Amino acid sequence: MTISTLDARGLDTLMIDIEKVVIDPNQVVTEMNVHSAAAIAYGKIMSELASATGGTYFHDNNDLKGGLAFLTKAPEYLYLLEFSPRNVKPDDTYHSLRVNVDTKGLTIRARAGYFAEKPANVNQADTSR
């Protein structure tokens, strides 16, 4: 599954109440630092979610309609690469992948890796019903 993300905050600005600056400038600096740290963490999560699944992260833009159109637009060309890993133990470990293309001007959207899942226990009863 490919997941693309859209940061609905658009261009992030920090509005400061002038009364707070006059009353306690140190409190304003603290609020700005907390806000900045939260914005950075939020952006990292959205970016990593998109890049790990081969998706796109649309951010730092107020054109949300254009961003949604960009994220839902089908690519002009699509190549699907598959591989069958050999000698990989099914032990739920993560294996990173890297795709390289020598042609300039192309954008590659690929997953960062996969988990070598353990096979399901066939003797286990199905309790989902």
State the chain's mean pLDDT as an integer.
Answer: 81
Whether the predicted pLDDT of 82 surpasses 70: yes
Provide the pLDDT confidence category of residue 107 given band limits of 50, 70 and 90: confident
Whether the predicted pLDDT of 79 surpasses 90: no
Chain Cα centroid distance, residue 95: 18
Q: Which two tokens stand for residue 6?
A: 């859209």
CA-atom Rg of the chain in angstroms: 22
Secondary structure string (H, E, C) spanning the chain: CCCCEECCCCCCCCCCCHHHHHHCHHHHHHHHHHHHHHHHHHHHHHHHHHHHECCCEECCCCCHHHHHHHHHCCCCCCCCCCCCCCCCCCCCEEEECCCCCCCCCCCCCCECEEEECCCCCCCCCCCCC
Which pLDDT does position 16 carry in this prediction? 61
Q: Give the integer Cα–Cα distance in Å for 28 and 18.
A: 9
Which pLDDT does position 21 carry in this prediction? 58
14-58 tens-digit pLDDT:
666 566 656 666 666 677 777 778 888 889 999 999 988 888 999
Domain range annotation of the chain = 5-116
pTM, full prediction: 0.57
